[in-house]
Chain A
């Protein structure tokens, strides 16, 4: 039987409907281009909704000495200087405008006593910088973008999943996707494609990520020839829930520490004083996560293998006002009243700093016509992401990707997709439904998560990584033969087939990056190379799929121009140095 396929044509096709994707689509549509956005979920449900603490922007509402230089300085330092400085600069300069734009579109942030947007302190930010709405900032951000996009001319496709990107010669040509609702297929031809599909934290079991974070866009683009960078850099958020088992990994916002929460080990020691005497609980995430891990390893962990987090000293009214979501989450899911008692937290996989290698100004990848923004792209965060920088990332680079795609689409003709390639992909996509024998995708997902935790977790070493790579390659072969009984109608088993394939590919890239980077830096902690090495700080590890399989190569980190490099020579953050000079 010949498959009925719907065909669509767009100037700009955005894959991914989280913050970055919606912002990109708004940009290209407002520039008059025929735009579509595809999302795996319902509109407004993407992983962006889970961001809690805030959006980082040097508005200077509470600390007037803050400015883009200090935000840039904090971002580069926390990224351990393998970030693309150009992205960090653009991001620091443009974040305030993006936040104010949201306010103009209807976002309602918490206020200062004099009526400005309130900003909260966060780990490794020199100043109070995170604009927020209690502990539900991501929700406010995506809802605002959702409400905005409903007023501009964009075709929104909900609950649809892309499985393959097509090219016309070297340039991008579009994708094929299935509707989750009934499994029918659609081909989208587009002059420019923006990937905004988020991260791949679901490759790990203990994660704060929602089901969608399976790295689809990054994997599809990687297969289509796009380069990945910094894949070894996977962020452990220091504070995930530990108990009961069903909630293990669910995020406890950094806002708890930002608002004054303190960490203790089982002996009642405030251990962060030992690991980072200056910043203590508000040290960068890599440091706090590793510190908790070390305390547990030393036998000073809590009953379920974590640390105590305590905010009771701030009083019940304050906690309920500033952290209502956390209060509710612990009451409903763990029977714990965080206004009255300390609670357990442990590191959880939170964010993938690595991803598609992009141009800082246009968000273009090495594949002509293919752009990427948000968590699926690499470069801004380097070896460790600052809290609050992901929400500003998706706004700044979502817009830039939309603008970059607009420019590209305006200057190019509609590409052609090869029908034979479409037919081959249709067969591949439908095959799991008709296999009488095959692997269970849920089981393979569990196997993947077990391998990632065992061999490429928070603590890494060469032999374990090599073992992990061998096991992942074996697993990748098994993923070619998965079976999904049932019909094409909303069939989660069938959907999992493609998610698992994507995560296996990216999991392998994580291991390969971790093997190459023979040092410890930011999120990469290797016990066989425990120090940060100057030479390694000069390179990013870039990966590409070639005829010979995945090839990893070092690429020089772009060197900062003198006027930016100078910011790091004063011994203190620029805003503080300026203040000192004035005195």
Chain B
């Protein structure tokens, strides 16, 4: 017998709002996004939720489920047996309506990262072991859950001083590409504010792609910045090699 589950979904916009309860019949293997689609089809056709692929490839359906930061399409309803499932929009970004937030700031920042500047024309000769790490970073689906959880952005609203983990990973994939000739160190240390990250690793924990954002991305970048700006001997050696 299918039993009902209860969802409590944020309904509102930038002017405010409140959670509204809905009953949905349980189905085997159901994910929270399925339950929201049921609500749209039966109770609230104007319930706003962003989604595309429903297969955890596109990173559109980020939300906060019972306080955890997750993709709606990948979160099983049966993880919450006997509980009311509270679904709220990402906290860090301005609400447009219901579960949909304005994430345009992330794209504005992405636009400011100087693009890949290869030393030679393709085809490239690259060993797999030399690209494993950047492939890990390029597995990012831009769900912006890492941006949402980062306390620098979430609790301190320091968007004007730190661009957040997603952007750090974008820097990392470029800086660690064996054939890239770009130099983004000044930007990284300055406007992008890598120094603001104090390595609490919350971003790594919420990443649905399992990217080791802090250990593999941000910390090596911090070390590079330190090398360039705070290591006079290394800086001299580098200058002589140029």
Name A residues whose Cβ lies closer than 8 Å to a Cβ of B.
41-47, 49-50, 59, 100-101, 103-106, 108, 110-111, 113-118, 133-134, 136, 138-140, 143, 147-148, 150-151, 158, 181-182, 210-212, 243-247, 250-251, 325, 328-329, 332-334, 440-443, 446, 484-487, 489-494, 496
Contact = CB atoms under 8 A, between A and B. Distances in A.
A440 B45 CA distance: 9
B91 interface: no
B116 to A, nearest CB: 4
Contact of A50 (B31, B58, B140, B142): B58
Contact of A41 (B28, B60, B107, B115): B60
B53 A333 contact: no
B228 interface: no
A325 B96 CA distance: 31
A147 B52 contact: no
B115 A148 contact: yes
Contacts of B140: 143
B57 A49 contact: yes
A147 B115 contact: yes
Contacts of A59: 123
B46 interface: yes
Contact of A100 (B34, B54, B110, B123): B123
A489 B97 contact: yes
Contacts of A496: 45
A245 B28 contact: yes
B127 A246 contact: no
Top 8 closest pairs, chain A to chain B, by CB? A244-B29, A486-B46, A493-B45, A106-B116, A490-B48, A115-B125, A442-B41, A100-B122
B29 A50 contact: no
A559 B74 CA distance: 49
B52 A108 contact: no
B46 A136 contact: no
Contacts of A113: 128
Nearest to B180: A106
Given A211-B51, A212-B52, A442 B177 contact: no
B138 A140 contact: yes
B141 interface: yes
B45 A492 contact: yes
A332 B75 CA distance: 8
B107 A43 contact: yes
A491 B57 contact: no
A486 B11 CA distance: 12
Contacts of A210: 52-54, 58
Choose among A42, A101, A150 the residue with the greatest number of B CB atoms under 10 Å from its CB.
A42
A77 to B, nearest CB: 28
B134 interface: yes
B30 A246 contact: yes
B111 interface: yes
Contacts of A143: 138, 140, 142
A45 B60 contact: yes
Given A246-B29, A489-B13, A489-B97, A442 B60 contact: no
Given A103-B124, A490-B98, A111 B131 contact: yes
A147 to B, nearest CB: 6
A108 to B, nearest CB: 5
Contacts of B111: 150
Contacts of A243: 28-29
A244 B45 contact: no
A50 B51 CA distance: 13
Interface in B69-127: 74, 76, 96-98, 100, 102-104, 107, 110-111, 115-116, 118, 121-127
B103 A150 contact: no
Choose among A158, A446, A492 the residue with the greatest number of B CB atoms under 10 Å from its CB.
A492
Contacts of A138: 57
B126 A441 contact: no
Choose among B74, B121, B124, B127 the residue with the greatest number of A CB atoms under 10 Å from its CB.
B124
B121 A49 contact: no
Nearest to B114: A151
Contacts of A114: 125
B25 to A, nearest CB: 12
Contacts of B202: none
5 contacts: A47-B53, A49-B57, A133-B138, A333-B31, A493-B46
